[in-house]
Chain A
Amino acid sequence: MERGGPVAVRRLVCIALLLLGFCGAAVPASRVLVLVVRADSPVVDLDSVTLRKLFLGVPVLVNGKLLHPIRNRSAEHLDEIFLQEIVGMSQSVYDRQILGGVNRQGWRPPTEANSSAQVLAALYEDQQAVAFVWQSEIAHDPRVRVVRILWSE
């Protein structure tokens, strides 16, 4: 009995770890934000500086064609990630950059989508569109392609 106790505890710990492992595998899948384009998009990769420019409204051309950024605003949490990880500035500074770009050169700010369905619909329609969505929302969707992971929890 003296030896059986630790074995049972070890088993319990193993089961708990396995369960955690399963849960752990499930959580990241819904908490990974990815940069996506339409499957036939000319975009292969976008470095962080180009991505920042794109979402600040600065014209970005790939193969001579302008890219169209779509800002996913389907959740408040996404706004925080967008400001911190993609454009790297506060909401007020971002706002001034956007207004300044429109005023100086007529730069187009990103199109805003208020639901994931809107983001995906815009992506399906536009070969030049670039957006960010939760990885879980596009799992096994052959019509879109992940360019890279932007953020994960």
Chain B
Amino acid sequence: MRSPGLLAAALCWTCIASADPLQHEFLLLPSAEAVGTFDRQAPVTQVTDEVLKLDSIFSLQKGSFKVFGEYLVSDHEGDLERFQLGWQVSSDTVIWIGRYHQPTSIWNHEHHHGQYLQTSITRPAIDEWEDLGGILPQHFTGVLVESSKQVFGDWRLHVAAAGGIAPEITSEGLEPFDLVHPSHDRQRLGYQARASLHPGEFTETGFGMIVANDKLPQVGPQTPEMVGLDYVDLRLVGVFGTYAAQSWKVLATAYYANAQLFYTGSEISDHFEVGYVQAEWRLRQELGVFARLEGSAHASDSTYLDLFDEFHRSRQLGGLRWDFARRQALTLELGRTHTLQGAFSDVRLQWSAAVL
């Protein structure tokens, strides 16, 4: 841990010594959500009735160096979600050190925690955050490099690669490394990479692939499913694509996951596939509709997914978003979800906003 510390100190010193002015930015993304469930046949539904959230994004920049972070406060928690020291190497490349959202979650890397910037209220189950029953690790502490390059004429290649301390598997689910209260448990690493091609510099349209290999240690008290578990070696490959027209957009993602569970004296290997398609259609400037289908295969046979009671193996939802004032929106969403143990339906209403 000495070298990253020295590197961070060197970065800070270069930043302070630079003659450029110190610039800052602050973005607030508040939201309030009410949820009702009905037709419940599942013991665990992962639904909280009311949620108030304030997502704060801040950046301090001096020349090519910046400090960037995201702090989320809700009526249930308060977490430093991202905290990154960045070096803008060139116009197209930035190197980050710190706690980041891993780049193989296409949804999270685009929207992060702010509700206002995503059209639907919920995110796909495969991209759910660790503390909300997510099955894939999302927060890592280490190094993230993001870059882009012009290729094949006007096309643009975007790449991101990262490596860092992976979340642990606990009886409460996945738990990422906490920068504010660092744990002294044994740590294991995870690596992720993503590449995508886009037909232009400013278009959302594009397609790409992801690959990840994360080692997740089991620590602390164990549930019956975890007895004897030492760690999980999770390998992920996936493809994704987005087509964005003037008034409508379709995005789709599919992942193949291979999980090797290492127990004391034995080893289990399993795999499962997950994916989703979301379509969004803007009826008028301020009014849009959306629908999403999520599905999975081999989920009920997976020993790895048995560790997560709340995983949604399939879901169908649809909704309406009304941008009723500058940077404010009301969203209504109706969904039907099948977990590994049952099913439930839910209706959600959300107010969200952005204050820059």
Q: In the complex, A102 Cα to B114 Cα: how many Å?
A: 11
Q: Given A66-B63, A95-B327, A99-B354, are A104 and B110 neighbors across the interface (CB < 8 Å)?
A: yes
Q: Which of B328-349 contact A (CB under 8 A)?
A: none
B88 within 8 A of A: yes
Size range of the chain A interface in the assembly? 20 to 34
- Pairwise interchain contact B27-A103, C-beta atoms closer than 8 A: yes
Q: Are B202 and A56 in contact (CB under 8 A)?
A: yes
Query: Chain A: which residue is nearest B111 at the CB level?
Result: A103
> Is A65 in the interface zone, CB < 8 Å from B?
yes
Give the distance in Å from the alpha carbon of A93 to the alpha carbon of B64 in the complex: 27
Q: Are B94 and A105 in contact (CB under 8 A)?
A: yes
Interface string of B119-142 (1 = CB under 8 A from A): 000000000000000000000000
Residue of B nearest to A97 (CB): B202
The answer to whether A145 has its CB under 8 Å from any CB of chain B is no
- Interface residues in A43-70 by Cβ distance below 8 A to B read 49, 52-53, 56, 58-61, 64-66, 68
Cβ of B356 within 8 Å of any chain A Cβ, yes or no, is: yes
Q: Are A106 and B68 in contact (CB under 8 A)?
A: yes
From A49, A53, A106, B57 is in contact (CB under 8 Å) with: A106
Residue of A whose beta carbon sits closest to that of B65:
A66
- Residues of chain B within 8 A of A103, CB atoms compared: 27, 29, 57, 111-112, 114, 117
Most chain-A CB neighbours within 10 Å: which of B88, B112, B285?
A: B88
Q: Which residues of A contact B110 (CB under 8 A)?
A: 100, 104
B88→A66 contact, CB < 8 A: yes
A105 touches which of B68, B111, B354, B356 (Cβ 8 Å)? B68
Partner-B contacts on A (CB < 8 A): 49, 52-53, 56, 58-61, 64-66, 68, 89, 92, 95-100, 102-109, 126, 128
Additional A-B contacts beyond A99-B27, A103-B112, A126-B21 (16; CB < 8 A): A58-B91, A61-B64, A61-B90, A61-B91, A65-B63, A66-B64, A95-B327, A96-B117, A99-B327, A102-B27, A102-B57, A105-B86, A106-B57, A108-B23, A108-B59, A109-B356
